[in-house]
């Protein structure tokens, strides 16, 4: 095969990138007898009966499909001129432009190549914080450039948003699921959802419970013990008193991490505690609603003074799983695995079937009742999304 031809592939493009061929409702004009000479001339020039031209949704582009072992969210690995392009890392997103750090450490303000933005994908945005990209500098003096290609991703934290994939961060090794013991109250069901998202994205989850100075730590023992028995690392922290901060620093050192959780749990405060040079903006929880004030408004990749990177993300109020089928949910519950194969029916959903080993284990106290209820809620949500 010719090498030049081997670098070409057919790609789907978004359906909203071209104007409709019929720019006017000619039938209505005829009915009202409002069609003038100018309109008739316009009709002769623009009316089409073919789907060719601007309405064509597949085009041949320079590039190839990404490797099978990487995330397929970017359907085409576009070909670029490596003589003029440079590798970079996306630090943050700001509407139509992104901050990209070049190999020399300089930060460029980059737009996105149009062919990349118009590729047909299930994502809300084709660029995500943490992406490794190839960008082309266009104005060295002002630090402006164009992102030409997104490299294959690994370690993706994403959620479903309006039926599409919202990639929160890409190319990270571990997810620090941050929650608070109080103010706002602890939400174990949100932890369960984020554990599934972390394992789906092939990242190591670490559960961080902040603000333990507001409660008696003994009250958290049933919850922390449950997750610890399943093999998850659990950190009890207090950004105010410094409790557990050194352990958190060891977890973050020389790794690519993301801190995620609901608003007001103290993600930015914890990062300020582990690295005082970050100086991230923080705010107290609203005393009326006991909810955070969304001080962090955009995700940002931050270098740590002791090595490694961490992404500070805006607060999450709802976390709907992406690309998790209802039949897959039970496989992400580690504590359910020893009982699944003992159910009477091979396709048991563990909700209403007779002779279900999982339900029997819950009734006997061998499985946590709250975890089972969390499973049922997640399963019901996934079944509802599949029906839609």
In tens digits, the chain (388 residues) has pLDDT values of 344 444 776 667 666 554 555 555 656 655 555 556 655 555 555 545 555 554 455 667 777 777 765 666 777 788 888 899 999 999 999 988 999 999 999 999 999 988 888 876 778 888 999 999 999 999 988 999 999 999 999 999 999 988 888 999 999 999 999 999 998 899 999 999 999 999 999 999 999 999 999 999 899 999 999 999 999 999 999 999 999 999 999 999 999 999 999 988 999 999 999 998 988 877 665 555 545 455 677 889 999 999 999 999 988 878 899 989 999 999 999 999 999 999 999 999 999 999 999 999 999 999 999 999 999 999 988 765 554 4
Q: Is the dihedral of CA 214, 218, 219, 221 positive or negative?
A: positive
For 326-387, CATH gives: 1.10.40.50
Q: What gap in Å lies between CA 273 and CA 339, rounded to an integer?
A: 42
Q: Which CA distances in Å does 205 have to 178, 197, 211, 249?
A: 10, 9, 19, 15
Burial 109-138 (b: 16+ CB within 10 A, else e): ebebbebbbbbebebeebbbbbbbbbbbbe
Q: How is the chain split into domains, by residue range? A: 3-61, 64-150, 170-312, 326-387
For 64-150, CATH gives: 2.40.50.140
pLDDT of amino acid 384: 57
Q: Is the dihedral of CA 340, 346, 349, 353 positive or negative?
A: negative
C-alpha angle with apex 332: 223 to 194, nearest 5 degrees? 60
pLDDT of amino acid 133: 95
pLDDT of amino acid 264: 86
The set of residues, in sequence order, having a beta carbon less than 8 Å from that of 216 and lying 6+ positions away, is: none
pLDDT of amino acid 297: 77
Homologous superfamily in CATH for domain 170-312: P-loop containing nucleotide triphosphate hydrolases (3.40.50.300)
CB 300 within 8 A of CB 270: no
CB 181 within 8 A of CB 98: no
Q: Which of 245, 228, 290, 234 is nearest to 263 (CA)?
A: 290
Q: Are strands 86-94 and 97-101 parallel, antiparallel or unpaired?
A: antiparallel
- How many CB atoms lie under 10 A from the CB of residue 362? 20
- How many CB atoms lie under 10 A from the CB of residue 229? 11
Strand, helix or coil for residue 84: coil
CB 172 within 8 A of CB 257: yes
CB 147 within 8 A of CB 138: no
CB 21 within 8 A of CB 54: yes
């Amino acid at each position: 095969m010719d090498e030049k031809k081997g670098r070409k592939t057919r790609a789907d493009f978004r359906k909203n990138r071209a104007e409709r061929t019929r720019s006017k409702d000619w039938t209505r004009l005829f009915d009202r007898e409002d069609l003038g000479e100018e309109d008739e001339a316009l009709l002769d020039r623009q009316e089409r009966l073919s789907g060719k031209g601007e309405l064509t949704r597949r085009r041949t582009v320079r590039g190839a499909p990404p490797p099978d072992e990487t995330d397929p969210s970017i359907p085409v690995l576009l070909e670029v001129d490596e003589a003029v392009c440079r590798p970079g890392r996306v630090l943050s997103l700001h509407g139509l432009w992104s901050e990209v750090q070049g190999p020399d450490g300089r930060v460029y303000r980059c737009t996105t190549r149009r062919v990349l933005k118009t590729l047909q994908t299930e994502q809300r945005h084709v660029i995500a914080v943490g992406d490794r990209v190839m960008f082309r500098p266009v104005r060295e003096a002002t630090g402006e450039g164009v992102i030409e290609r997104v490299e294959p991703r690994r370690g993706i934290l994403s959620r479903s948003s309006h039926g599409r994939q919202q990639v929160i961060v890409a190319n990270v090794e571990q997810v620090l699921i941050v929650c608070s013991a109080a103010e706002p109250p602890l939400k174990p069901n949100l932890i369960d959802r984020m554990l599934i998202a972390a394992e789906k994205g092939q990242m190591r989850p670490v559960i961080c419970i902040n603000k333990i100075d507001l409660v008696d730590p003994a009250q958290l023992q049933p919850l922390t013990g449950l997750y610890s028995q399943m093999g998850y690392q659990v950190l009890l922290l207090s950004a105010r008193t410094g409790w557990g901060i050194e352990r958190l620093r060891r977890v973050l050192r020389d790794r690519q991490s993301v801190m995620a959780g609901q608003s007001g749990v103290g993600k930015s405060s914890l990062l300020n505690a582990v690295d005082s040079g970050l100086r991230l903006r923080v705010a107290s929880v609203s005393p009326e609603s006991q909810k955070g004030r969304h001080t962090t408004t955009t995700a940002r990749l931050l270098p740590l003074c002791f090595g490694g990177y961490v992404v500070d993300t805006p607060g999450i109020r709802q976390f709907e799983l992406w690309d998790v089928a209802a039949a897959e949910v039970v496989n992400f519950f580690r504590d359910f695995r020893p009982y699944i194969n003992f159910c009477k029916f091979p396709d048991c959903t563990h909700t209403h079937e007779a002779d279900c080993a999982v339900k029997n284990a819950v009734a006997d106290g061998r499985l946590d009742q709250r975890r089972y209820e969390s499973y049922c809620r997640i399963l019901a949500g996934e079944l509802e999304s599949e029906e839609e």
